[in-house]
Chains A and B, each alone.
Chain A
Amino acid sequence: MRGATSAKWVAGAAIIALAATACGGGKDSTDNSGAAADPAGVFSYQSSEPQHPIQPANVMETGGGRITDVLFSKLVDFDAKSGAIENVVADSIKQDDASHYTIKVKQGWTFHNGEKVTAKSFVDAWNWGANAKNAQQNASWFSDIKGYDEVHPEKGDPKADKMSGLSTPDDYTIKVELANPAPYWTYKLGYSAYSPLPSVFYTNPKKYGEEPIGNGPYQFVKWNHNQDFLTKAYDKYAGADKPKNGGVDFKFYTTSEAAYKDTVSNNLDVLDQVAPSGMATYHQDLGKRAVDAPQNSIQTIAVATYADAIKGVKDRGKFMQGISMAIDRDTITKTVLQGSRTPATGFVPPAVKGYLADACGEYCKYDPAKAKQLVTEAGGANASISILYNADGGHKEWVSAVCSNITQATGVKCESDSKADFKTVLDVRTNKKVQSFYRSGWVQDYPLNANFLKDLYGTTAAGNEGGYSNKTFDDLTAKADKAPTLDESVKLYQDAEKSLYADMPAIPLWYYKTNAGYSANVKNVTYDTFGKPVFTAVEVLKK
């Protein structure tokens, strides 16, 4: 009796709650574009506590990454929409030959403490970041530079503290010699690891990390640990993208639900990503202030070629193609994922240099009949597969949808293999214990097709955990890395990409979108291909 009563009440409470939310939404729906802006206004942004002290070569996760991005300006940056590379602190970058670069640094840039930004600010920072002693997470970003193996040997202490490939003939020139030719090395210069550092950094890097001094559009004000990170616009900023607001307050949220609620109630100005629970209603809740923008990142399911279930299949390539064709990407992205993703047509997302339209062709299109035929021809009709994923990342729904697609179309038994968190999944992957397939994904480091291919599918690439090996691909990428110009390299990488569809190391599923929005206090909020807002363009409304 007791149980029955309480059940009734819970049901009642749930109905009340649902009704209440239904009334809550859609209060006002303008995008604020007409209202007057206050150039000194500070806006808040959904963030999370940085994992480490702010040192550009050590920042890898989103929380610290976004903060580093506004505090530092690098030599180059990428256009928010097209992803095209643009000079920022660099005046010019000249490629003398495949492995020699001359970089001219613009004069007139200063750090937030007044120190001039010179060639040395960059070179010293790179040498420090590469040094094995400093155990920086992004150290491998410098591995193209000649002399990296001296400052960062495989094992043991560094033999030198400077990379021999870097020199500064004068205050505003950097000469770079790479150990191996890399025609697209300039793209890497846009990553946070290549930020310049002021000389005060080296006196106490740890203390600096608590009160960082950069050269970017915003300067550090205060870091209330676990609460927020406050910045203000730097008035002597030398870049073209001068902030149109007074500063950014990075407010830390542990749950995206709380951040979403705060934006809907105008207590948080700019969202990073809408909470899963808000996906169904955010267009209604935020009206014209809801934003959808393409992001250069991809979700795939990769194959573990060493797994028994896969080895049992006669023709793995055909099997993969068949499985790929069994997946109805359009329906899943529309229904299960509520329109938050775009079906993938290849391994490289659209706003990336070297994107090939429809690269995957028919193999990424839903065709259950052909799928069954291919799987049968491959001798895999009786196979049973599983997809490994982490249960804490909101993947469960689409994994089951993909699995039921596969079983329905081809008869191949498919089940989801969930592990508690990403850490556990990583363990399984590095120890080569994956049953057959695993969920994989890639967010761009820089918008170039090589970044989506080489580090993931090369036979010896560290990111290739499935043991995939494709000689044509390896040859083409090796050739592309030695190409004299960027354009030739991009072309060769396109050929390399095409060669992947013959036996598919992974099945491209969909590209991510930034699903976000902003409050009634700000306007002109746009997002770039990394999924981060264009901070300097945001305008705060006059109160």
Chain B
Amino acid sequence: MGRYVARRLLQMIPVFIGTTLLIFLMVYSLPGDPVRALWGDRPADPQAMARLRHEYWFDRPVLAQYWHYLSNVVTGDFGSSFVTGRKVIDVMAETFPVTIRLALIAFAVEIVVGLSLGLLAGLNRGKLWDKLVLVITLLLISIPIFVLGFIFQTIFADQLGWTTPTVQNSDDITQLILPGAVLGSLSFAYIARLSRTSLAENLRADYIRTAIAKGLPRRRVVGIHLMRNSLIPVVTFLGTDLGALMGGAIVTEGIFNVHGIGNTLYRSINQSDNATVVGIVTILVIVYLLSSLLVDLLYAALDPRIRYA
């Protein structure tokens, strides 16, 4: 087990270098001169441009820029944004907690609602409840997230007046519930469907019949034998989804004016602010890698047949 984890952690190093390089090159190749763009419609000052370029390494070859960046990151220095002059680490320290909270709310919503709907449908296969869940999830999957955000805003803020249409204070977790629910809605539909199929299938498996035949109470059959085996695909999905929720919050954060990484990332891409974009995406990549490692370890816990040597 320990060796397995160590190997996985070591594998992250090349993945980390590869992704940062890719992102760095992508931002670099965006058309337009980001330094010139600071002046907008106005004539730019060549002196000031040259100084900015030199200070932020824009006048070096791209690989030299990357090397400079990477060697700083290794020492924990994510550089600073050429636009705002602020340290990227400060920007991330402000925005990541907000997005993590948002993602966790979305995560909680999709686990609780998604699994209960899945359970409801899976145990009542072919009956009314099953059909109803199918329709609801189909609806959620087919509506783009910005439409959903808009509908939620209109219903919960404008009509019912339960909350404000946008988030007034991003540090207040209660205000993040609405955007969190919107963000998690697509995924809970997937989870409901995944768990429903897997539950319905396992319900007919031999070991369930055996368990019932042994006279085990229904709660134990469903809660322990059935759930545990049916959760493997759901856990896989959840693991990769945590990363997707954090990176995919761009649209939701825009609609609800949440000041998290989504908004910051969007703005930084527009400004070709390489340091900020690569910094944020690097952390996202690490989150993704760690959560998928966690998923693989959870397999072992859920399925005794799986062993990591």
Contacts and interface: CB of A to CB of B under 8 A. Distances in A.
A423 B32 contact: yes
B73 to A, nearest CB: 22
B187 interface: no
Interface stretch (A83-91, A247-255, A354-362): A247-255
A226 B95 contact: yes
Contacts of B43: 140, 455, 461-463
Contact of A137 (B45, B86, B139, B264): B45
B147 A267 contact: no
Q: How large is the interface on A (under 10, 10 to 19, 20 to 34, 35 or more residues)?
A: 35 or more
B257 A154 contact: no
B147 A17 contact: yes
Interface hub of A132, A225, A261, A420 (most chain B Cβ within 10 A): A261
B20 interface: no
Contacts of B141: 6
Contacts of A422: 32, 37, 40
A5 B85 contact: no
A423 B166 contact: no
A14 B170 CA distance: 29
A225 B86 contact: yes
Interface in A437-494: 440-443, 455, 461-463
Interface string B235-269: 00000000000000000011111010001101100
B176 to A, nearest CB: 14
A418 to B, nearest CB: 13
A424 B38 contact: no
A505 to B, nearest CB: 15
Nearest to B257: A258
A226 to B, nearest CB: 4
Contacts of A153: 47
A137 B39 contact: yes
Contacts of B46: 154
A424 B139 CA distance: 39
B257 A423 contact: no
B23 interface: no
Interface string A1-23: 01001110110011011001101
Nearest to A253: B257
B166 A52 contact: no
A421 B83 contact: no
Contact of B138 (A5, A262, A419): A5
Nearest to B165: A261
A9 B142 CA distance: 8
Nearest to A441: B41
B274 interface: no
A53 interface: yes
Interface stretch (B113-121, B124-132, B148-156, B297-305): B148-156
B52 A52 contact: no
Interface string A271-283: 0000000000000
A265 B32 contact: no
B158 interface: yes
Contact of B51 (A13, A24, A132, A455): A132
Contacts of A462: 43-44
B48 interface: yes
B119 to A, nearest CB: 24
Contact of B154 (A20, A61, A262, A420): A20
B28 to A, nearest CB: 13
Interface hub of A49, A254, A440, A441 (most chain B Cβ within 10 A): A254
Given A60-B39, A60-B42, A426-B32, A254 B51 contact: no
A243 to B, nearest CB: 23
B75 interface: no
A2 B139 CA distance: 11
A323 B235 CA distance: 63
Interface string B157-171: 111000011101110
Interface hub of A7, A154, A265, A422 (most chain B Cβ within 10 A): A265
B257 A421 contact: no
Contacts of A392: 270
Contact of B85 (A7, A17, A52): A52
Contacts of A424: 31-32
Contacts of B94: 225-226
A423 B255 contact: no
B221 interface: no
A254 B266 contact: yes
Contacts of B225: none
B139 A9 contact: yes
A61 to B, nearest CB: 7
A425 B84 CA distance: 23
B38 A137 contact: yes
A443 B264 CA distance: 27
A155 interface: yes
Nearest to A21: B154
Interface in B166-186: 166, 168-170
Nearest to B157: A265
Contacts of A258: 165-166, 254-257
Contacts of B55: 135
A261 B84 contact: no
A461 B43 CA distance: 9
Interface string B177-203: 000000000000000000000000000
Contacts of A61: 40
Interface string A126-143: 000000110111011000
B159 to A, nearest CB: 7
A321 B86 CA distance: 49
Given A6-B141, A20-B158, 16 more contacts: A13-B139, A13-B147, A24-B158, A52-B84, A60-B40, A136-B48, A140-B43, A225-B86, A225-B94, A226-B94, A258-B254, A265-B157, A265-B158, A267-B168, A423-B272, A427-B32
29 contacts: A14-B147, A20-B151, A20-B159, A23-B159, A24-B158, A60-B38, A60-B40, A132-B48, A133-B51, A135-B52, A152-B47, A225-B90, A227-B169, A227-B170, A254-B253, A258-B166, A258-B257, A261-B153, A267-B165, A267-B168, A392-B270, A419-B31, A422-B40, A423-B34, A426-B33, A427-B33, A430-B36, A442-B41, A463-B42
Interface of A: 2, 5-7, 9-10, 13-14, 16-17, 20-21, 23-24, 49-53, 60-61, 132-133, 135-137, 139-140, 152-155, 206, 225-227, 252-255, 257-259, 261-262, 265, 267, 392, 419-427, 430, 440-443, 455, 461-463
Top 8 A-B residue pairs of the complex, sorted by shortest distance between their CB atoms: A423-B32, A462-B43, A6-B142, A258-B257, A135-B51, A135-B48, A261-B165, A424-B31
Interface of B: 30-34, 36-48, 51-52, 55, 83-86, 90-91, 94-95, 138-139, 141-143, 147, 150-151, 153-155, 157-159, 164-166, 168-170, 253-257, 259, 263-264, 266-267, 270, 272
